[in-house]
Amino acid sequence: MKIVIERGCRVLDQSDRRTPVVLLAGFAGPAMTGVEHIAAKLSEDAGTVVVHHDLAELREGVVRRTVRTAGRVSTTVLELAHGCVSCTLRADLLPMLCTLAARDHVRRIVLALDPAIEAEALCQAIEHVEVTGVTDRVDGPAARNVRVEAVLTCLDGEQWLADATGDEALADRGLAGADDDRTVAQVAVGQVDFADALVVLAAGADTLDRERLGAVLARMAPMAPVAWLERLSDFDAVEIGALLTRVPADSRRGRVFDAHAPLLRGQPPLDTDCGVTIVEFAARRPFHPVRLHDALDVLFDGVVTARGRVWLATQPEQVVWLESAGGGLRVGSAGRWLAAMSPEERGAADPARVAMAALGWDERFGDREVSLVILAHDADPAEIRHALHWALVEDDELLLVDRAPERVALWEDPFGDWHEDPCADPAETAATASERTNPRGETA
Protein backbone atom coordinates (compact mmCIF):
# COMPACT_ATOMS: atom_id res chain seq x y z
CA MET A 1 0.00 0.00 0.00
CA LYS A 2 1.26 3.46 -0.88
CA ILE A 3 -0.68 6.50 0.26
CA VAL A 4 0.89 9.95 0.49
CA ILE A 5 -1.06 12.86 1.91
CA GLU A 6 0.41 16.32 1.36
CA ARG A 7 -0.17 19.76 2.87
CA GLY A 8 -2.71 21.32 5.13
CA CYS A 9 -4.55 21.16 8.46
CA ARG A 10 -7.98 22.20 9.71
CA VAL A 11 -9.72 23.66 12.72
CA LEU A 12 -13.45 23.00 12.96
CA ASP A 13 -15.98 25.71 13.80
CA GLN A 14 -17.93 24.13 16.62
CA SER A 15 -20.49 26.96 16.66
CA ASP A 16 -21.98 26.09 13.26
CA ARG A 17 -24.83 23.62 13.86
CA ARG A 18 -25.80 23.17 10.23
CA THR A 19 -25.44 19.67 8.80
CA PRO A 20 -22.08 19.30 7.02
CA VAL A 21 -22.05 18.29 3.36
CA VAL A 22 -19.13 16.67 1.53
CA LEU A 23 -19.17 16.84 -2.27
CA LEU A 24 -17.38 14.11 -4.26
CA ALA A 25 -16.50 14.99 -7.85
CA GLY A 26 -14.79 13.01 -10.60
CA PHE A 27 -14.68 13.03 -14.35
CA ALA A 28 -15.87 9.67 -15.68
CA GLY A 29 -13.76 6.49 -15.98
CA PRO A 30 -11.42 5.65 -13.09
CA ALA A 31 -12.18 8.98 -11.41
CA MET A 32 -15.87 8.07 -11.07
CA THR A 33 -14.82 4.66 -9.78
CA GLY A 34 -12.90 6.59 -7.13
CA VAL A 35 -15.99 8.64 -6.29
CA GLU A 36 -18.07 5.46 -5.92
CA HIS A 37 -15.42 3.83 -3.72
CA ILE A 38 -15.11 6.84 -1.40
CA ALA A 39 -18.89 7.23 -1.21
CA ALA A 40 -19.27 3.58 -0.24
CA LYS A 41 -16.61 3.87 2.47
CA LEU A 42 -18.14 7.05 3.90
CA SER A 43 -21.60 5.47 3.95
CA GLU A 44 -20.32 2.91 6.48
CA ASP A 45 -20.54 5.65 9.12
CA ALA A 46 -23.89 5.26 10.89
CA GLY A 47 -24.58 9.01 10.75
CA THR A 48 -23.76 9.50 7.06
CA VAL A 49 -26.20 9.57 4.14
CA VAL A 50 -24.80 9.34 0.61
CA VAL A 51 -26.89 10.73 -2.27
CA HIS A 52 -26.16 10.23 -5.97
CA HIS A 53 -28.17 11.51 -8.92
CA ASP A 54 -27.42 9.55 -12.10
CA LEU A 55 -28.01 11.84 -15.10
CA ALA A 56 -27.25 9.30 -17.83
CA GLU A 57 -30.90 9.47 -19.02
CA LEU A 58 -31.35 13.18 -18.39
CA ARG A 59 -32.13 13.90 -22.04
CA GLU A 60 -35.18 11.65 -21.69
CA GLY A 61 -36.25 13.53 -18.59
CA VAL A 62 -35.31 10.65 -16.27
CA VAL A 63 -32.97 10.89 -13.27
CA ARG A 64 -32.11 7.98 -10.99
CA ARG A 65 -31.52 8.98 -7.39
CA THR A 66 -29.70 6.56 -5.08
CA VAL A 67 -29.63 7.08 -1.31
CA ARG A 68 -27.21 4.95 0.69
CA THR A 69 -26.77 4.60 4.44
CA ALA A 70 -24.87 2.12 6.60
CA GLY A 71 -27.63 -0.47 6.36
CA ARG A 72 -29.72 0.41 3.32
CA VAL A 73 -29.57 1.37 -0.36
CA SER A 74 -32.63 2.70 -2.20
CA THR A 75 -33.05 3.91 -5.78
CA THR A 76 -35.85 6.17 -7.00
CA VAL A 77 -36.63 7.02 -10.63
CA LEU A 78 -37.53 10.68 -11.05
CA GLU A 79 -39.28 12.10 -14.11
CA LEU A 80 -38.59 15.77 -14.74
CA ALA A 81 -40.73 17.97 -16.95
CA HIS A 82 -37.58 19.65 -18.28
CA GLY A 83 -34.54 17.39 -18.53
CA CYS A 84 -31.70 19.64 -17.41
CA VAL A 85 -29.17 19.86 -14.59
CA SER A 86 -30.79 22.99 -13.17
CA CYS A 87 -34.16 21.24 -12.90
CA THR A 88 -32.53 18.31 -11.10
CA LEU A 89 -31.02 20.65 -8.53
CA ARG A 90 -34.14 22.72 -7.96
CA ALA A 91 -36.73 19.94 -8.06
CA ASP A 92 -34.97 17.24 -6.06
CA LEU A 93 -31.41 17.65 -4.84
CA LEU A 94 -31.77 20.94 -2.95
CA PRO A 95 -35.08 19.98 -1.26
CA MET A 96 -33.55 16.62 -0.29
CA LEU A 97 -30.64 18.39 1.41
CA CYS A 98 -33.11 20.37 3.52
CA THR A 99 -35.14 17.26 4.35
CA LEU A 100 -32.11 15.20 5.38
CA ALA A 101 -30.67 18.07 7.43
CA ALA A 102 -33.84 18.10 9.55
CA ARG A 103 -33.38 14.46 10.62
CA ASP A 104 -31.66 14.05 13.97
CA HIS A 105 -29.84 10.84 13.02
CA VAL A 106 -28.18 12.44 9.95
CA ARG A 107 -24.83 13.85 11.02
CA ARG A 108 -23.30 14.24 7.55
CA ILE A 109 -24.51 14.25 3.95
CA VAL A 110 -22.26 13.10 1.12
CA LEU A 111 -23.14 14.06 -2.46
CA ALA A 112 -21.53 11.79 -5.05
CA LEU A 113 -21.84 14.05 -8.08
CA ASP A 114 -22.60 12.94 -11.61
CA PRO A 115 -19.91 14.29 -13.99
CA ALA A 116 -22.54 16.61 -15.51
CA ILE A 117 -23.05 18.40 -12.16
CA GLU A 118 -20.23 20.81 -11.39
CA ALA A 119 -19.47 21.30 -7.70
CA GLU A 120 -19.17 25.07 -8.07
CA ALA A 121 -22.60 25.41 -9.67
CA LEU A 122 -24.13 23.21 -6.97
CA CYS A 123 -22.50 25.20 -4.15
CA GLN A 124 -23.77 28.42 -5.68
CA ALA A 125 -27.26 26.90 -5.82
CA ILE A 126 -27.03 25.78 -2.18
CA GLU A 127 -26.15 29.34 -1.18
CA HIS A 128 -28.60 31.30 -3.34
CA VAL A 129 -31.47 29.23 -4.81
CA GLU A 130 -34.64 29.45 -2.75
CA VAL A 131 -36.08 26.06 -1.75
CA THR A 132 -39.83 26.06 -1.28
CA GLY A 133 -42.47 23.61 -0.12
CA VAL A 134 -40.38 21.52 2.30
CA THR A 135 -42.53 20.42 5.25
CA ASP A 136 -41.87 22.20 8.56
CA ARG A 137 -39.31 24.51 6.97
CA VAL A 138 -39.35 28.21 6.13
CA ASP A 139 -38.67 28.83 2.44
CA GLY A 140 -35.12 29.91 1.69
CA PRO A 141 -31.74 28.68 0.40
CA ALA A 142 -30.51 25.25 1.50
CA ALA A 143 -27.52 27.01 3.09
CA ARG A 144 -29.77 27.79 6.06
CA ASN A 145 -29.70 24.08 6.89
CA VAL A 146 -26.43 22.74 5.48
CA ARG A 147 -22.83 23.89 5.08
CA VAL A 148 -20.21 22.65 2.67
CA GLU A 149 -17.53 20.88 4.72
CA ALA A 150 -15.32 20.02 1.75
CA VAL A 151 -15.23 19.34 -1.98
CA LEU A 152 -13.14 16.25 -2.73
CA THR A 153 -12.16 15.63 -6.35
CA CYS A 154 -10.89 12.34 -7.77
CA LEU A 155 -8.83 12.33 -10.94
CA ASP A 156 -7.19 9.83 -13.23
CA GLY A 157 -3.45 10.42 -13.01
CA GLU A 158 -2.92 9.10 -16.55
CA GLN A 159 -5.72 10.94 -18.35
CA TRP A 160 -6.57 14.14 -16.47
CA LEU A 161 -3.92 16.43 -17.99
CA ALA A 162 -4.86 15.34 -21.52
CA ASP A 163 -8.52 16.04 -20.74
CA ALA A 164 -7.70 19.41 -19.18
CA THR A 165 -5.75 20.58 -22.23
CA GLY A 166 -7.99 19.25 -25.01
CA ASP A 167 -10.92 20.74 -26.90
CA GLU A 168 -13.41 17.84 -26.97
CA ALA A 169 -17.03 18.66 -26.19
CA LEU A 170 -18.65 17.07 -23.16
CA ALA A 171 -21.50 15.83 -25.34
CA ASP A 172 -19.03 13.95 -27.55
CA ARG A 173 -18.15 11.80 -24.53
CA GLY A 174 -21.83 11.05 -23.94
CA LEU A 175 -21.70 12.92 -20.64
CA ALA A 176 -24.11 15.71 -21.55
CA GLY A 177 -26.94 16.56 -23.89
CA ALA A 178 -26.36 17.89 -27.39
CA ASP A 179 -27.41 21.36 -26.24
CA ASP A 180 -24.78 21.41 -23.47
CA ASP A 181 -21.84 23.39 -24.88
CA ARG A 182 -19.38 22.69 -22.06
CA THR A 183 -16.08 21.07 -22.93
CA VAL A 184 -14.26 18.20 -21.27
CA ALA A 185 -11.45 20.60 -20.35
CA GLN A 186 -13.84 23.09 -18.75
CA VAL A 187 -15.25 20.44 -16.42
CA ALA A 188 -11.89 18.79 -15.69
CA VAL A 189 -10.23 22.10 -14.86
CA GLY A 190 -13.20 23.34 -12.86
CA GLN A 191 -13.29 20.21 -10.71
CA VAL A 192 -9.68 20.67 -9.61
CA ASP A 193 -9.83 24.46 -9.29
CA PHE A 194 -12.80 24.21 -6.91
CA ALA A 195 -11.47 21.27 -4.85
CA ASP A 196 -10.58 21.40 -1.15
CA ALA A 197 -8.85 18.01 -1.36
CA LEU A 198 -7.65 15.81 -4.22
CA VAL A 199 -7.34 12.07 -4.75
CA VAL A 200 -5.08 11.10 -7.65
CA LEU A 201 -5.35 7.56 -8.99
CA ALA A 202 -1.73 7.29 -10.02
CA ALA A 203 -1.37 3.61 -10.97
CA GLY A 204 0.20 3.36 -14.44
CA ALA A 205 1.40 6.96 -14.60
CA ASP A 206 5.13 7.19 -15.28
CA THR A 207 7.42 9.27 -13.08
CA LEU A 208 7.72 12.30 -15.39
CA ASP A 209 3.97 12.50 -16.05
CA ARG A 210 3.30 12.19 -12.35
CA GLU A 211 5.74 14.99 -11.51
CA ARG A 212 4.27 17.25 -14.19
CA LEU A 213 0.73 16.57 -12.94
CA GLY A 214 1.83 17.29 -9.39
CA ALA A 215 3.28 20.63 -10.50
CA VAL A 216 -0.01 21.55 -12.22
CA LEU A 217 -2.12 20.60 -9.19
CA ALA A 218 0.17 22.52 -6.81
CA ARG A 219 -0.50 25.67 -8.84
CA MET A 220 -4.20 25.16 -9.49
CA ALA A 221 -5.19 24.09 -5.98
CA PRO A 222 -2.24 25.03 -3.75
CA MET A 223 -4.18 24.69 -0.49
CA ALA A 224 -5.63 21.25 -1.23
CA PRO A 225 -4.05 18.20 0.44
CA VAL A 226 -3.39 15.49 -2.15
CA ALA A 227 -3.61 11.72 -1.74
CA TRP A 228 -1.64 9.83 -4.41
CA LEU A 229 -2.97 6.27 -4.70
CA GLU A 230 -1.42 3.27 -6.39
CA ARG A 231 -4.39 1.10 -5.44
CA LEU A 232 -7.85 2.52 -4.75
CA SER A 233 -8.80 -0.53 -2.68
CA ASP A 234 -6.27 0.53 -0.02
CA PHE A 235 -8.00 3.88 0.52
CA ASP A 236 -10.23 3.06 3.47
CA ALA A 237 -12.51 5.19 5.63
CA VAL A 238 -9.68 6.06 8.03
CA GLU A 239 -7.46 7.40 5.25
CA ILE A 240 -10.38 9.30 3.69
CA GLY A 241 -11.15 10.87 7.04
CA ALA A 242 -7.49 11.79 7.52
CA LEU A 243 -7.45 13.54 4.13
CA LEU A 244 -10.57 15.55 4.92
CA THR A 245 -9.18 16.50 8.32
CA ARG A 246 -6.16 18.07 6.60
CA VAL A 247 -8.27 20.52 4.62
CA PRO A 248 -7.18 24.00 5.80
CA ALA A 249 -9.66 26.07 7.78
CA ASP A 250 -9.47 28.87 5.18
CA SER A 251 -10.03 26.59 2.19
CA ARG A 252 -12.86 27.47 -0.19
CA ARG A 253 -15.43 25.02 1.27
CA GLY A 254 -18.00 25.87 -1.35
CA ARG A 255 -17.35 29.61 -1.57
CA VAL A 256 -17.84 31.02 -5.06
CA PHE A 257 -15.59 34.00 -5.81
CA ASP A 258 -16.62 36.78 -8.15
CA ALA A 259 -14.53 38.25 -10.96
CA HIS A 260 -12.98 40.86 -8.67
CA ALA A 261 -11.49 38.43 -6.17
CA PRO A 262 -7.71 37.85 -6.17
CA LEU A 263 -6.67 35.78 -9.18
CA LEU A 264 -3.88 34.02 -7.25
CA ARG A 265 -5.22 32.24 -4.18
CA GLY A 266 -3.43 30.11 -1.62
CA GLN A 267 0.13 31.20 -2.44
CA PRO A 268 0.88 28.82 -5.35
CA PRO A 269 4.53 28.22 -6.34
CA LEU A 270 5.69 30.88 -8.78
CA ASP A 271 8.77 29.03 -10.02
CA THR A 272 8.89 26.62 -12.97
CA ASP A 273 8.69 22.88 -12.32
CA CYS A 274 8.67 20.23 -15.09
CA GLY A 275 7.88 23.00 -17.56
CA VAL A 276 4.82 24.05 -15.54
CA THR A 277 4.67 27.73 -14.61
CA ILE A 278 2.28 30.54 -13.73
CA VAL A 279 2.45 33.52 -16.07
CA GLU A 280 1.13 36.80 -14.65
CA PHE A 281 0.27 39.58 -17.08
CA ALA A 282 -0.78 43.07 -15.97
CA ALA A 283 -1.17 46.36 -17.82
CA ARG A 284 -2.65 49.81 -17.20
CA ARG A 285 -3.71 50.33 -20.80
CA PRO A 286 -6.46 48.49 -22.72
CA PHE A 287 -6.30 45.80 -25.37
CA HIS A 288 -7.08 46.60 -28.98
CA PRO A 289 -9.97 44.17 -29.58
CA VAL A 290 -8.86 42.91 -33.01
CA ARG A 291 -5.25 42.38 -31.94
CA LEU A 292 -6.36 40.66 -28.73
CA HIS A 293 -8.57 38.33 -30.75
CA ASP A 294 -5.61 37.43 -32.94
CA ALA A 295 -3.31 37.01 -29.93
CA LEU A 296 -5.59 34.63 -28.04
CA ASP A 297 -4.28 31.62 -29.97
CA VAL A 298 -1.28 31.76 -27.63
CA LEU A 299 -3.58 30.55 -24.83
CA PHE A 300 -4.65 27.37 -26.60
CA ASP A 301 -1.39 25.46 -27.03
CA GLY A 302 0.56 24.32 -23.99
CA VAL A 303 -1.76 26.14 -21.55
CA VAL A 304 -3.99 24.43 -19.01
CA THR A 305 -6.06 27.43 -18.01
CA ALA A 306 -6.12 31.22 -18.01
CA ARG A 307 -8.42 33.68 -16.32
CA GLY A 308 -8.63 37.32 -15.48
CA ARG A 309 -10.05 40.79 -15.95
CA VAL A 310 -9.65 42.53 -19.29
CA TRP A 311 -9.97 46.19 -20.29
CA LEU A 312 -11.07 46.48 -23.92
CA ALA A 313 -10.62 49.86 -25.59
CA THR A 314 -14.03 49.57 -27.29
CA GLN A 315 -15.87 48.68 -24.07
CA PRO A 316 -14.64 51.30 -21.56
CA GLU A 317 -17.45 50.76 -19.07
CA GLN A 318 -17.37 46.96 -18.92
CA VAL A 319 -15.08 44.70 -16.94
CA VAL A 320 -14.53 41.86 -19.40
CA TRP A 321 -13.88 38.44 -17.87
CA LEU A 322 -11.69 36.03 -19.82
CA GLU A 323 -11.44 32.36 -18.92
CA SER A 324 -9.94 29.42 -20.78
CA ALA A 325 -9.65 25.70 -20.25
CA GLY A 326 -7.58 23.65 -22.67
CA GLY A 327 -8.48 24.49 -26.27
CA GLY A 328 -11.58 26.56 -25.50
CA LEU A 329 -12.03 30.09 -24.25
CA ARG A 330 -14.98 32.26 -23.29
CA VAL A 331 -15.29 35.97 -22.74
CA GLY A 332 -18.16 37.72 -20.97
CA SER A 333 -19.21 40.71 -18.95
CA ALA A 334 -18.25 40.91 -15.26
CA GLY A 335 -20.04 44.15 -14.45
CA ARG A 336 -18.71 47.69 -14.67
CA TRP A 337 -15.49 49.37 -13.71
CA LEU A 338 -15.77 51.49 -10.59
CA ALA A 339 -14.62 54.46 -12.66
CA ALA A 340 -17.71 54.06 -14.85
CA MET A 341 -20.10 54.10 -11.88
CA SER A 342 -21.88 57.02 -10.30
CA PRO A 343 -20.79 57.98 -6.75
CA GLU A 344 -23.93 56.29 -5.43
CA GLU A 345 -23.21 53.06 -7.31
CA ARG A 346 -19.60 53.09 -6.19
CA GLY A 347 -20.72 53.53 -2.60
CA ALA A 348 -22.78 50.35 -2.86
CA ALA A 349 -19.88 48.30 -4.31
CA ASP A 350 -17.90 45.72 -2.34
CA PRO A 351 -15.74 47.68 0.15
CA ALA A 352 -12.79 45.32 -0.38
CA ARG A 353 -12.90 45.92 -4.12
CA VAL A 354 -13.11 49.70 -3.60
CA ALA A 355 -10.17 49.65 -1.19
CA MET A 356 -7.98 47.62 -3.55
CA ALA A 357 -8.87 49.85 -6.49
CA ALA A 358 -7.95 52.96 -4.49
CA LEU A 359 -4.37 51.71 -4.10
CA GLY A 360 -3.75 51.95 -7.83
CA TRP A 361 -6.30 54.53 -8.94
CA ASP A 362 -5.33 56.36 -12.14
CA GLU A 363 -6.34 60.00 -12.63
CA ARG A 364 -7.46 59.37 -16.21
CA PHE A 365 -8.71 55.81 -16.24
CA GLY A 366 -9.53 55.02 -12.62
CA ASP A 367 -9.45 51.28 -11.80
CA ARG A 368 -9.37 50.08 -15.41
CA GLU A 369 -6.61 47.56 -15.98
CA VAL A 370 -5.67 44.22 -17.47
CA SER A 371 -4.91 41.43 -15.00
CA LEU A 372 -4.45 37.83 -16.20
CA VAL A 373 -3.08 34.65 -14.67
CA ILE A 374 -2.09 31.86 -17.06
CA LEU A 375 -1.07 28.32 -16.09
CA ALA A 376 1.22 26.91 -18.78
CA HIS A 377 2.50 23.35 -18.88
CA ASP A 378 4.15 23.25 -22.31
CA ALA A 379 4.43 26.82 -23.56
CA ASP A 380 7.06 29.56 -23.55
CA PRO A 381 6.07 32.28 -21.03
CA ALA A 382 8.03 34.85 -23.03
CA GLU A 383 5.94 34.12 -26.14
CA ILE A 384 2.72 34.47 -24.14
CA ARG A 385 3.80 37.82 -22.71
CA HIS A 386 5.01 39.04 -26.11
CA ALA A 387 1.69 38.21 -27.80
CA LEU A 388 -0.34 39.92 -25.09
CA HIS A 389 1.89 43.01 -25.07
CA TRP A 390 1.49 43.24 -28.85
CA ALA A 391 -2.31 43.27 -28.40
CA LEU A 392 -2.27 46.33 -26.11
CA VAL A 393 -3.06 49.73 -27.62
CA GLU A 394 -0.06 51.80 -28.67
CA ASP A 395 0.61 55.34 -27.41
CA ASP A 396 -1.28 57.12 -30.21
CA GLU A 397 -4.24 54.76 -29.74
CA LEU A 398 -4.17 55.33 -25.98
CA LEU A 399 -4.46 59.03 -26.65
CA LEU A 400 -7.66 58.36 -28.59
CA VAL A 401 -8.97 56.17 -25.76
CA ASP A 402 -8.48 59.10 -23.41
CA ARG A 403 -9.59 62.03 -25.60
CA ALA A 404 -11.82 60.61 -28.34
CA PRO A 405 -13.65 57.55 -27.00
CA GLU A 406 -16.42 58.12 -29.57
CA ARG A 407 -13.89 57.34 -32.33
CA VAL A 408 -12.58 54.27 -30.49
CA ALA A 409 -16.15 52.98 -30.20
CA LEU A 410 -16.18 52.67 -34.01
CA TRP A 411 -13.26 50.23 -34.05
CA GLU A 412 -14.03 46.68 -35.09
CA ASP A 413 -14.75 44.54 -32.01
CA PRO A 414 -14.81 40.75 -32.58
CA PHE A 415 -16.02 40.26 -29.01
CA GLY A 416 -19.12 42.41 -29.03
CA ASP A 417 -21.60 41.16 -26.44
CA TRP A 418 -20.76 37.50 -26.77
CA HIS A 419 -17.74 35.48 -27.79
CA GLU A 420 -16.48 31.94 -27.65
CA ASP A 421 -13.41 30.28 -29.11
CA PRO A 422 -12.96 28.34 -31.29
CA CYS A 423 -14.88 30.92 -33.32
CA ALA A 424 -18.32 29.88 -34.51
CA ASP A 425 -19.30 30.20 -38.16
CA PRO A 426 -21.30 33.32 -39.16
CA ALA A 427 -24.67 31.54 -38.98
CA GLU A 428 -23.99 30.29 -35.47
CA THR A 429 -22.67 33.69 -34.41
CA ALA A 430 -25.85 35.39 -35.61
CA ALA A 431 -27.98 32.86 -33.76
CA THR A 432 -26.22 33.49 -30.47
CA ALA A 433 -25.23 37.15 -30.74
CA SER A 434 -27.80 38.20 -28.14
CA GLU A 435 -26.50 35.77 -25.51
CA ARG A 436 -24.14 36.84 -22.77
CA THR A 437 -21.91 34.90 -20.44
CA ASN A 438 -21.38 35.29 -16.72
CA PRO A 439 -17.90 35.57 -15.13
CA ARG A 440 -17.63 31.78 -14.97
CA GLY A 441 -18.22 31.48 -18.72
CA GLU A 442 -21.67 29.90 -18.52
CA THR A 443 -24.40 31.11 -20.83
CA ALA A 444 -26.96 33.17 -18.93
In a domain, 14, yes or no: yes
What's the pLDDT at 1?
39
- Tell me what the mean pLDDT of segment 231-246 comes to: 95
In a domain? residue 64: yes
Co-location of 186 and 283 in the same domain = no
The helix (run of H) or strand (run of E) holding residue 24 is strand 19-26
State the chain's mean pLDDT as an integer.
89
Please choose, from the candidates 37, 52, 150, 43, the residue with its C-alpha nearest in 3D space to the C-alpha of residue 106: 43
Residue 268 included in any domain: no
Q: Domain check: are 285 and 228 in the same one?
A: no
pLDDT at 13: 54
Residue 41 CA: distances (Å) to CA of 113, 132, 174, 248? 16, 32, 28, 22
Q: Which amino acid is at 93?
A: L
Q: Examine the domain organization and report whether 185 and 322 are in the same domain.
A: no
Predicted confidence band of residue 58 (pLDDT cuts 50, 70, 90): confident
Q: How confident is the model at residue 174 (pLDDT cuts 50, 70, 90)?
A: confident
Report how many domains make up the chain. Answer: 2
Please give the torsion angle defined by the CA atoms of residues 236, 238, 239 and 244, in that order, rounded to the nearest 10 degrees: 120
pLDDT tens-digit map of 370-401: 999 999 999 999 999 999 999 999 999 999 99
Q: In terms of domains, do 35 and 126 share one?
A: yes
The answer to whether position 76 is within a domain reads yes
Looking at the structure, tell me whether residues 212 and 330 fall in a common domain. no
Query: Domain of 418?
Result: 277-432
pLDDT given at position 430: 29
Residue 145: inside a domain:
yes
What is Dmax (Cα atoms) for the chain? 73
Report pLDDT digits (tens) over 265-293: 999 999 999 999 999 999 999 999 999 99
- Establish if 260 belongs to a structural domain: no
Judge if 43 and 149 occupy the same domain: yes
Same domain, 216 and 318: no
Q: Is residue 316 part of a domain?
A: yes
Using one digit for the tens of pLDDT, what is the confidence trace for 320-362?
Answer: 999 999 988 999 999 999 999 999 999 999 999 999 999 999 9
Judge if 240 and 297 occupy the same domain.
no
- Of 175-179, 297-301, 313-317, the range with the lowest mean pLDDT is 175-179
In the predicted model, what is the mean pLDDT of residues 144-153?
97
What pLDDT was estimated at residue 205? 79
| Nearest Cα to Cα of residue 242 among 2, 5, 1 | 5
User: Cβ neighbours of residue 176 under 8 Å, at least 6 residues apart?
Assistant: 116, 170, 182
Question: What pLDDT was estimated at residue 322?
Answer: 96
Q: Are residues 363 and 229 in the same domain?
A: no
12 pLDDT higher than 60: no
Whether residue 439 has pLDDT greater than 50: no
Same domain, 148 and 238: yes
